[in-house]
Amino acid sequence: MRNLGIVVLLLLFIAGCQSNSAKYQVNGTVAGLDSAVVYLVKAENGRPVTTDTTHAVEGKFSFEGTIAVPELHYLRLGERDYFAQFFLENETITVEANADSLRGTQVTGSPITDLFNEYLDEVQRMQEKMSEYQQQYSAAMASGNQDEVDRIRIDAEAANDNMQVYAKNFVKENSTSIVGPFVTLTQLAQQLDYTELKELVDLFPAELDSSVYTKQLKEFVAEKGRTAIGVQAPEFTMNDVDGNPVSLSAFRGKYLLIDFWAAWCGPCRQENPNVVSAYNTFKDKGFDILGVSLDREKEAWLKAIEDDKLSWTHVSDLKYWQNEAAQLYGVQSIPHSVLLDPEGKIVAKNLRGKDLHDKLNELLN
């Protein structure tokens, strides 16, 4: 009986420890602050969402609760003064700030935040180097030193590649931490192709599946998979400039460039002469273009077609970023292009400048 009592007491002690460890406690101090409302905020679909509020009394405040999967949170004084960034996890987290210099806020007690800050410190160092290259590039351009311009551009491109390599390696080394999905979603998802992104997402353990970051990544991977190189391009039908329906499948038998663009898009208009050149060079060799416009004003769309001499088929539903074909193809920015083979399979994406000509030369000559 005595031994049974010890076991019961031990189980109660363990239960008590588990209960405490399943809570977060955020203790904050803002020196120089009398009283104010403090908001605990997280980002949701790109917008700030308040998850809790409290009042600071003589500069001191606290939040308490539980969180199933850690998420990045912020603290805010009033309506606009954000002063802390940390992963909310079931730990005792301390926030120390000064009302006169909120940027100097210190957060301790969150191991996940410490790991994330290690990543941010290295990224900041790399970004400072990129800023140096930008200044050097501007100076070289101003002096007309083309050799120096070319050298700096090559160095800057290499530095930019190094940032991506660092981010990928960081995620691989920390795939069991929520920081892995967060960095992948915010830093890499748009840059990586389907295969690379899927390889990273597949590293995350099942216990992170309920994370909003992992869920968004899996949706993004599925979206990219629909337009990955080697797959059949998703079919769509959209009206042309005369209001007649045009189907993607009508272009079978030729290499086809689906060109997502808009009259209001400066980079698109700058790329258009190159696309025109490619069309004129290869149109008699089994190449065609289908322009998909993300415009919302028909007159501007038609004028841009005429001004830029875009003499191929054009379609649009005039729904701006809600263009149905653009959403189907996961278009996040324009110009965006997808090259299909005569059977309608995707063979390349986002070919610009000389790369477009080189690829068409490879395929058609």
Cα separation, 241 vs 256, in Å, equals 19
Is the CB of residue 282 less than 8 Å from the CB of residue 359? Answer: no
Is the CB of residue 291 less than 8 Å from the CB of residue 311? Answer: no
Give the distance, in angstroms, between the CA of residue 114 and the centroid of all CA atoms in the same chain. Answer: 22
First to last CA, the chain: 90
Phi, psi at residue 314, to the nearest 5°? -130, 140
Instruction: Give the model's pLDDT for residue 9.
Output: 31
Q: What is the pLDDT along the chain (365 residues), one digit of tens a residue?
A: 333 333 333 333 333 333 345 899 999 999 999 889 999 999 988 889 999 999 999 999 999 999 999 999 999 998 889 999 999 999 999 999 999 999 999 999 999 999 999 999 999 999 999 999 889 989 988 888 898 989 988 988 888 889 999 999 999 999 999 999 999 999 999 889 899 999 999 999 999 999 999 999 999 999 889 888 999 999 999 999 999 999 999 999 999 999 999 999 999 999 999 999 999 999 999 999 999 999 999 999 999 999 999 999 999 999 999 999 999 998 989 999 999 999 999 999 999 999 999 999 999 98
SS3 159: helix
Place of tokens 């190449």: 287
pTM over 0.95: no
Place of tokens 């597949």: 202
| DSSP secondary structure letters along 241-296 | TTS-EEEGGGGTTSEEEEEEE-TT-HHHHHHHHHHHHHHHHHGGGTEEEEEEE--S
Q: Which of 182, 170, 218, 216 has the alpha carbon at shortest distance from 198?
A: 218
